Chain A
């Protein structure tokens, strides 16, 4: 940083200018008393305000988990709804501490935007939704179709790649906000609505008649979705990363929101280390000893978060699939706490 008054003046003119990140993100957060979390403008199941204005969803719960690890309280958090276009600038400029907004981890984003991706909270892939009345069973029959999507996402590129590789014609209609995409598709502007498969299930709930639409079986891309932090603060990166691992380890060890307190007395040394009755693992990343216990008491383990927000018993009805633990045939895997 150069001088002190200038960044203040200049930040008014340029969002990119520094808001002195000298002290370290974790200390800044502890000082201000809450975690500022960037979320979407409304994707059911991932980050969506309910009818009372409380944010809920898988991405939201991850932020709450981070807040619980720092403050022992999952409510010490404030949310900033961001469009796909605004999200990285908001994080780079320090407006938010963590971006948890179904963001795809790609090499460009990891290497040129000054970001770090601590983990993958949801393994997703891009899919297509069409009207049942079209009588289409495969994405290979989509040549000549109009495709609605949201601008500023990886989906635009994936569609272009897919149709070009298959030598099929298409027309892309890209809207600024997800709600307008849904409205335009619902009004018949497009034959196809494309985004991450989880998003398709979520947005289908917003259609006039959700039952009239089907999601085609083809998944045309890898979309590892997860939180992102700035890459100039490794300490904060480690906090977020280990909160994610704690959620996975808790599920693997059978620690749940309901039994977390009594599990403290469990025999297993793995559980003891996770819940802070043994070892100094919390302090090694600048947190309390019972950081993981607080996380699990606030939001539950990874499986509980998944089932509560997007699982088979929710309107989205998504099965675990790739997001099951490695012990159950999925690819969610965490290094041990030791």
Chain B
């Protein structure tokens, strides 16, 4: 059969039929629509607020807040501004989210690996943990941890005294606080020095192992440095540290450092809940690495520990990181449930500000902008990390 080879000479087509031009037109129209829609929302809201005599703008951020906050990482009093109160809330959110991510990752990895264990009991316990924790709504778990913690511990007058002047009661956990006196700066520098040396040892040991095959106990020596160096510095500078111990005075303990029960309850709930999801992600990641890899590692003489650490996990991480990022974002956003148990996070403090000032649109705008920024930053970091550990084709 002969193939017709008459190439179709392009007719003088209208510019409108050019797919490229069309594509541009569609995109411009869509962008214009979106911009117009956003503009309409903003102007309409402003106009309606004005029409109803509702004050607007962000000037309220400089006004005295006038209310107290239980937990604050920076100095804050009733005389501070609304803006500062919001910063206190933001820092509290970051604190609980950061620690939550840390603990959830550790528990999640342990439980995920435990679920694949050959030991029947361990794998079943991990299965039960995952199924129970991820199937109960988070808010209920927060209530459970908070009120369970509260009911389980006594009131301040009958506090549980733990060794080392640590006290536990339903107002929180009270520990002695280290007071840094004059001349204690060297201790801080010694900690920094220990960390720098630790990193140096790590690279030196790796190069030596690649060259000679000999191993060096990097972790133990680094840990030793981190303990010994500051103690040395402390002795040399003439022991400039003292302890402030908590004391029962009136209603409650005074002095020392205090961890409030709202924080403990929220942190427990967030980490335990997210750990269940991370465990499943870790399990999926490990199972995605073919069993042949384990067999090959064993054939090379690696024991179970190094096999998991050096062969399986690095390959599994590529599967784990993207869904893990989502879990980190979820945890951060879920921390806004704090308001239910009076932990002063951004939503809780912002809610108070909203009510005292009545600036609903502005405060909700700040909330959304802050959570969006935190999430985008987390995403960017995790994407960078993901591309860093991705398979490098040689």
Contacts and interface: CB of A to CB of B under 8 A. Distances in A.
B283 interface: no
Contacts of B351: 85, 151-152, 176
Contacts of B151: 187
A15 B360 CA distance: 10
Interface in B35-70: 37, 40-41, 43-45, 47-49, 51-55, 66-70
B245 interface: no
Interface string A93-117: 0000000000000001100111000
B155 A170 contact: no
Contacts of A230: 52
A188 B150 contact: yes
B358 A144 contact: no
Interface in A213-268: 230-232
Contacts of B68: 156, 159-160, 170-172
A229 to B, nearest CB: 12
Given A13-B41, A16-B361, A172-B70, A151 B348 contact: yes
Q: Which has the most chain A C-beta neighbours within 10 Å: B44, B78, B262, B344?
A: B44
Contact of B45 (A14, A164, A177): A14
Interface in B351-393: 351-352, 354-358, 360-361
B66 A161 contact: yes
Contacts of B339: 151, 175-176
Interface stretch (A2-10, A60-68, A302-310): A2-10
A123 B236 CA distance: 67
A10 B41 contact: yes
A47 interface: no
For chain B, what secondary structure do more than half of its interface residues adopt (helix, strand, loop), or is it mixed?
A: helix
A188 B155 contact: yes
Contacts of A15: 360
Contact of A85 (B41, B44, B147, B355): B355
A95 B339 CA distance: 24
B171 A146 contact: yes
B147 A183 contact: yes
Which of B51, B67, B170, B356: most chain A Cβ within 10 A? Answer: B67
B40 A6 contact: yes
Nearest to B356: A157
B140 to A, nearest CB: 13
Contacts of A85: 351, 354-355
Given A156-B68, A174-B352, 8 more contacts: A17-B44, A114-B49, A152-B355, A160-B66, A161-B78, A171-B252, A180-B342, A191-B251
Give 6 closest A-B pairs by Cβ, nearest first.
A152-B355, A114-B52, A144-B250, A172-B68, A112-B55, A114-B54
